[in-house]
Structure 1
Amino acid sequence: MTDTADKLPDLVSLAVERTGPIARVTLLGPGKGNAMGPDFWRELPIVFRALDADPAVRAIVLTGSGKNFSYGLDLPAMMGAWAPLLAGDALAGPRTEFLREIRVLQESVTAVAECRTPVIAAVSGWCIGGGVDVIAAADVRLASADAKFSVREAKVAIVADLGSLQRLSGIIGEGHLRELALTGKDIDAARAEKIGLVNDIHDDQEAVLAAAEEMANEIAGNPPLVVQGVKEVLSLTTERQVTDGLRYVSTWNAAFLPSKDLQEAVQAFLERRAPEFTGE
């Protein structure tokens, strides 16, 4: 355990450990495939703000436990916040509360992007939806050969609203982002490297973690205030655009997310069948 970890509250969805100047943050679930439920969204900003405030931590490696980085949003666990919208014709009250909920989740991911300490994501297995939102907020992404990525929200009748649509254009370019977001398709590690989503591919999970820690140590050997300055300068323009985009998409979804297609997507997910969308 690190000094930072000792000061953190008991965590359910994340584990934090430190070796010298490097902190490792590991997604734990508890949902299948490290799916992101209420505990994750509550704990993510707590952890990254604590690491940001710890001068002994000079780089962070972010990874997933088990075979996968994350299956993304834990739909069953998060349905409580959506229930008033799915119940029928939601008026201003439920929509305003849902807008607040979206922005709370957005702030959780933004805590990763705003962390002054560089963050390297080491991805193995599946990285879906919210998982892509989170790694898009990291500074560098590395993958194992078995990694697979998907901006899948369109397939479940959702406009992605936690940062991938805002941050990925500067990482992979507008054309690749539009393809991934409009199709909801899965891509493998080789395609992810080709379009710039990840910097390098490594043989397996052990190898990608070793590579991430090697890079983290290289960063940690540089003057920490200069490293923070580099992040600040690089983020000046992009984060301003991201902030505007996040506010817009949260308002859009509070207004337009409730639909028969969303109800169908949720029902099909629970019944483990293909949805049939009607544009209603």
Structure 2
Amino acid sequence: MTENLVSLTVDTADHVAEVTLLGPGKGNAMGPDFWRELPLVFDALDADPDVRAVVLTGSGRNFSYGLDLPAMAPAWGGLLGGDSLAAPRTRFLDTIRQMQDSVTAVARCRKPVIAAISGWCIGGGVDVVAAADIRLASADATFSVREVKVAIVADLGSLQRLSGIIGEGHLRELAFTGKDIDAARAERIGLVNDVHPDQEAVLAAARGLAAEIAANPPLVVQGTKDVLGLDRDRTVAEGLRYVATWNSAFLASKDLGEAVQAFVERRPPTFTGE
């Protein structure tokens, strides 16, 4: 399972697996290797009888800057050209569904997943931690459902999963504005359970909580997760299917091209609604 991984590392001890994001993009940005490897890792952890809980964290100072836009641009095919027909849109739909399935692998893993978050957790990073069971943060953690600022409807699970975590009002505010929120507000709205002084402390807390879970009867813990997820998983699946279809039809726009170009040129974008 852990051989030849590029974007993740996996270490297991005392029935707890620790998965660390590596990138390899700056700030653990999520490129093609990440989307390919994430489900391989979590499906393997799900099947490993020695693993009873999982800690998910990021290497370096940040959890993740989110989607690696330059690395993922080829997956958009000819969509930015504005005249793409059914074939490239269908390929793009397949890409979205594959990326959605990567994130869902975290949620469907029968072993409880605890995210230990420090520094930036942006866009795709929020999608991934929303799929975890429990989220803990360090005091320097900053969260952003950032997709709206790059002319994308978030389509990897944050819009579907966060409503049950932080409520509709907070989710709509974060999704419509793309604003940053600090760890204190994240704790206040229920995005994270607890805030710890620094990265070392939050990781220690996550490991301690995972050990506490791992000490319980493993099949009962897994059954509890299964029962808790029954209604949510069905609703999330329907929402993911809808947004994947929506984006395959409407993602291509002048605003998306402007967002990508502005990112490359390191300038604020100017959106026209085209």
Q: Which residue of 1 aligns with 2:152?
A: 158
How many angstroms apart in 1 are the aligned matches of 2:220 and 2:84? 49
Q: Deviations for 1:16-73, whole angstroms, at most 9, x for unmatched residues?
A: 0012111100000100000000000000000001111011111000000000000000
Once the two structures are superposed, the pairs formed by residues 31-180 of structure 1 within 5 Å of their partners are 31-180=25-174
**Equivalent residue of 2:24, what SS?**
coil
Q: Within the alignment, does 1:260 sit opposite 2:254 as a pair?
A: yes
> How many percent identity over aligned positions?
77
Counterpart secondary structure, 1:131: helix
Q: CA deviation at 1:83?
A: 3.4
Q: Secondary structure of 1:120's partner?
A: strand
Given candidates 214, 218, 223, the residue that maps to 2:217 is 223
Which aligned runs of 4 or more in structure 1 are off by greater than 3 angstroms? none
In structure 1, what is the Cα distance between the partners aligned to 2:12 and 2:233?
28
User: SS at the partner of 1:264?
Assistant: helix
State the match for 1:19 in structure 2.
13
Distance in structure 2 (CA, Å) of the matches to 1:218 and 1:127: 26
Matched residue type, 1:136: A
Please give the root-mean-square deviation of Cα atoms over the aligned residues, in Å: 0.6
Cα separation, 2, equivalents of 1:8 and 1:16: 6
Q: Secondary structure at the match of 1:240?
A: helix
Q: Counterpart of 1:61 in 2: which secondary structure?
A: strand
Is 1:29 equivalent to 2:23 in the alignment?
yes
DSSP 3-state at the match of 1:11: coil
Q: Which amino acid aligns with 2:164?
A: G
Q: Which runs of 5+ in 1 are unaligned?
A: 1-6
TM-score by length of 1: 0.97
CA distance in 1, matches of 2:105, 2:170: 25
* Distance in 2, Cα, partners of 1:99 & 1:28: 27
1:201 equivalent to 2:230? Answer: no
The whole-number CA distance in structure 2 between the counterparts of 1:155 and 1:39 is 24
Q: Which amino acid aligns with 2:180?
A: D
Q: For the residues of structure 2 that align with 1:87 and 1:76, how far apart are their CA atoms?
A: 16
Measure, in 2, the Cα distance between the counterparts of 1:200 and 1:153. Answer: 26
Name the TM-score, length of structure 2 as normaliser. 0.99
Contiguous gaps of at least 5 residues in structure 2: none
The number of residues matched between the two structures is: 274
The Cα shift of 1:244 comes to 0.2
Equivalent residue letter for 1:234 = L
Q: Deviations over 1:206-261 (max 9, x none)?
A: 00000000000000011001101110000000000000000000000000000000
CA deviation map 1:104-159 (0-9, x unaligned): 00000000000000000000000000000000000000000000000000000000
The letter for the 1-side match of 2:124 is: G
DSSP-derived class of the 2:49 partner: coil
**Once the 2 structures are TM-superposed, how far is the Cα of residue 265 of structure 1 from its aligned partner?**
0.4
Amino acid at match of 1:252: W
